[in-house]
Amino acid sequence: MAKQLGRAMVLKIGDGASPEAFTFMAGINSKTLTINNSAIDVTTPDATTPGGALWAQNLNGLKSVSISGDATFLDESAQEGRLNTVAMAADPVANFQLVVPSFGTYEGEFRVTTATLTGETEGAVNYSLALDSNGAITFTAA
């Protein structure tokens, strides 16, 4: 894969309709995707040589995907309003896509765990968001 511009990695939010349409969330300056794979330690000493080397053994545990981002609040797109509506809902989940150029798309249901608005006296209104997967996330290669 050739080098890609970070600004070309985009986050999209679903509209909740059927079929669902995804719209680019403008103003996001930094995006991070983290894939988590928990391990369950099942290491046990060898019964025949309990004093010997003890090698770690693990079973697959929980899988999760998290997305975070920092943005300049534009207040000119419906996506910020949609994000606020989801974050304020009793069950704050929606479908999101994170598109990595020339690599692929991560898609699925995410819980809005944090939506923060900030504003400095001599600066723009900014926001940050944190999303945690709420079920299986798919990856489709580009």
pLDDT band of residue 45 (cuts 50, 70, 90) is confident
- Predicted confidence at residue 105, as pLDDT, reads 97
Residue 76 has pLDDT above 70, yes or no: no
Asked whether residue 102 is assigned to any structural domain, the reply reads yes
Extract the tokens encoding 139: 């990856």
75 lies in a domain?
yes
Residue 1 lies in a domain: no
For residues 88 and 72, give the distance between their C-alpha atoms in angstroms, rounded to a whole number.
20
Give the per-residue pLDDT at 107: 97
| 124, part of any domain | yes
Beta bridge partners of 140: 105
Counting the structural domains of the chain, the total is: 1
The position carrying tokens 């923060």 is 116
Q: Mean of the per-residue pLDDT values for the chain?
A: 91
Which pair of structure tokens corresponds to residue 65?
């995907």
Domain range holding 30?
6-43+55-141
The answer to the question of residue 38 being in a domain is yes
3-state helix, strand, coil in the chain (%, to 5): 10, 50, 40
pLDDT at 50 over 90: no
Domain contains 50: no
Q: Model pTM?
A: 0.86
